[in-house]
Amino acid sequence: MNYTDTLYGSLVLYSNGKINPFALNLSVPYMRTGIHIVDRNKGSWQEATTAKPIDIYLPQRFKRMVVSCIGEHEALVKGLEELDSLWPGCRQLYKLGQLQAQLPDLTAVVNIASVESEVEPVSGSFYLFAGSRPLYVNLIFDAEDQSVRLTWSTFDLKATLVAQKHQRYILFPLPLLLNRSLFIHSQNICARWWNLRRKFPSDYLNVLRSANALEQILYKDPNVPNYS
């Protein structure tokens, strides 16, 4: 596996106004931006990668997927095309875990848009697969525009921010992803964050409390088929 390969992505969970671009200096050939929640500041995403993105359109499922992958992608693409029909009645995280187990060395990010047509997104999500190459996952609080981002990367983002002397960002690390997957439904996770911040008062201890609660929501056991 080539450890010079880079995968980076972020999802804005909250912003009370215009979102400033995340000032992270990455020298990569492929950069993409978009939004999973129409007409809102939250739900916007950014991706940067050295791996050429692979487009998949599944008209029968009204899904458009963009795969950024370190390693051989053919088996992953085949698995993604069949995923919705496998393990019926099971949670999406369980399905991703089963697919991950078949591809133990693969590290990849899949950006999914549910669409009304091939190009018009109505909602979206991310699949994260971390095989032998881990993914660092963090919450980033921007002290200037008050936004909150969920980020993932193949490199230590905290070390990068320190090296680039950024002082506007406050980082809350989530557990390292290694030999497991993560399912991020953009609209649901943005709504969960909003509800947590409404539930807890706006002081710094309760921001940490909200971050801990979000970790528990995201990092559920991938080996449990469902909770019914």
Condensed to tens digits (0 to 9), the pLDDT of residues 167-215 reads 888 899 999 999 999 999 999 999 999 888 887 766 778 888 899 999 9
Place of tokens 């697969």: 129
* Cα distance between residue 188 and residue 156, in whole Å: 26
Please give the model's pTM, rounded to 2 decimal places: 0.91
Alpha-helix residue ranges (DSSP H) falling in the chain: 74-82, 92-102, 157-163, 186-199, 204-218
- For residue 171, being part of any structural domain is answered with yes
The answer to whether 137 and 114 are in contact (CB under 8 A) is: no
- For residue 33, being part of any structural domain is answered with yes
- For residue 190, being part of any structural domain is answered with no
* Residue-range definition of the domain harbouring residue 121: 7-185
Average of per-residue pLDDT values in the chain: 87
- For residue 199, being part of any structural domain is answered with no
Q: What is the mean pLDDT of residues 40-66?
A: 86
The answer to whether 54 and 64 are in contact (CB under 8 A) is: no
- For residue 76, being part of any structural domain is answered with yes
pLDDT digit string (tens) for 25-49?
A: 788 899 998 888 875 668 889 999 9
Q: What is the pLDDT of residue 1?
A: 42
The answer to whether 166 and 23 are in contact (CB under 8 A) is: yes
- For residue 134, being part of any structural domain is answered with yes
* Cα distance between residue 217 and residue 176, in whole Å: 15
- For residue 81, being part of any structural domain is answered with yes
* Cα distance between residue 170 and residue 168, in whole Å: 7
- For residue 222, being part of any structural domain is answered with no
- Total tally of structural domains belonging to the chain: 1
